[in-house]
């Protein structure tokens, strides 16, 4: 939860149109009302805070089915923004159509490619329905309802259906119920208070055992490795950066020692943020 000493609503940027899963995540993260700022793409999203169009940006980093989102990790590396918090949103896909539409009467369904891929069972059960890839889930809902064609539907969230007034024809279309997206809240400067989670990016020393040397201090000081992502460094062929998420829960006093040891084991080190994990943040509410 991010709080500022101001009566002014925080401006939170997100990628997509109104009704997107990202906008729903903003409503979950902020107990008080926030003003949402839609951005057409990830480049525009990461530019929203530096250009003062928003106070924070909510950025998707990974989905439990689709995996990590490479574009966001690369932009995070290039950006000077830091992670101030995170939120995990359950992803439930709905089939949304015009009033009076029926599943039997559909000839096409449109949505973001990832959403379509996560609903394979539905399309196997309805082979007559053509799938159409679109820019995002919420935009698909808006377009379907604006056209008013009862033979076309969208796959999006229940939140999107409420925003645009669509009829929910089916709920929980996703193949696997264990479908979650983790979002990071990015802002300027250092986060106000620490937390039980650290996010780092490192460039390893180019030698045998470089990755082992970088991770060993955390194992020795009982700091749990939550996530590691390897991404190529653009412009530097065959060189890579590693994004690392760590939990200091139960070992808070050991982190400073481990970080000093890490500095001597890697070529480059940058702290992306220290913040409350989504689980601990939920427990504090």
Beta bridge partners of residue 240, listed in sequence order: 232
The Cα 102–Cα 114 span in angstroms is: 24
The Cα 116–Cα 112 span in angstroms is: 6
Q: For 120-161, how does the pLDDT look when each residue is reduced to its tens digit (9 = 90+)?
A: 999 999 999 999 999 999 999 999 999 999 999 999 999 999
Return the active site residues: 181, 183
Q: For 260-283, how does the pLDDT look when each residue is reduced to its tens digit (9 = 90+)?
A: 999 999 999 999 999 999 975 554
201 Cβ neighbours under 8 A, 6+ residues apart: 76, 77, 241, 242, 243, 244, 269, 270, 272
Residue at 3 is within a domain: no
- What share of residues in the chain are helix, strand, coil (percent, to 5)? 30, 35, 40
Domain range holding 157? 94-170
Overall domain count for the chain: 3
What's the CATH number where 243 sits? 3.30.70.260
Residue at 212 is within a domain: yes
Residue at 6 is within a domain: no
Based on the fold, state whether residues 46 and 183 are members of the same structural domain. yes
Based on the fold, state whether residues 242 and 271 are members of the same structural domain. yes
Residue at 1 is within a domain: no
Q: Is 106 exposed, middle or buried (0-12, 13-18, 19+ CB in 10 A)?
A: buried
Give pLDDT, residue 234. 86
Residue at 22 is within a domain: yes
The Cα 63–Cα 118 span in angstroms is: 11
Based on the fold, state whether residues 119 and 224 are members of the same structural domain. no
């Amino acid at each position: 939860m991010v709080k500022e000493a101001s009566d002014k609503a925080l401006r939170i940027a997100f990628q997509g149109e109104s009704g997107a899963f990202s906008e729903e995540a903003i409503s979950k993260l902020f107990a008080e009302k926030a003003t949402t700022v839609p951005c057409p793409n990830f480049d525009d999203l990461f530019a929203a805070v530096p250009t003062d169009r928003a106070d924070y940006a909510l950025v998707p980093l990974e989905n439990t089915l689709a995996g990590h989102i490479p574009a966001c990790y690369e932009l995070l590396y290039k950006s000077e923004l830091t992670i101030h918090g995170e939120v995990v949103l359950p992803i439930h896909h709905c089939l949304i159509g015009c009033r009076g539409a029926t599943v039997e009467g559909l000839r096409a369904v449109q949505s973001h490619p990832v959403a379509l891929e996560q609903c394979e069972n539905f399309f196997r059960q309805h082979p007559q329905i053509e799938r159409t890839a679109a820019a995002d889930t919420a935009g698909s809902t808006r377009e379907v309802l604006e056209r008013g064609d009862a033979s076309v539907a969208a796959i999006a969230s229940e939140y999107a259906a409420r925003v645009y007034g669509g009829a929910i024809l089916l709920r929980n279309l996703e193949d696997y119920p264990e479908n979650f997206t983790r979002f990071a809240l990015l802002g300027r400067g250092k986060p106000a208070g620490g937390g039980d989670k650290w996010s780092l990016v490192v460039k390893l020393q180019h030698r045998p055992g470089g990755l082992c040397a970088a991770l060993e201090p955390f194992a020795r000081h009982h700091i749990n490795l939550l996530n590691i992502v390897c991404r190529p460094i653009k412009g530097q062929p065959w060189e890579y950066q590693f994004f690392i998420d760590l939990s200091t829960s139960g070992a808070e006093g050991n982190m400073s020692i481990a970080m000093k040891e890490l500095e001597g084991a890697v070529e480059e080190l940058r702290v992306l943020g220290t913040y409350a994990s989504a689980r601990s943040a939920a427990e504090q509410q």
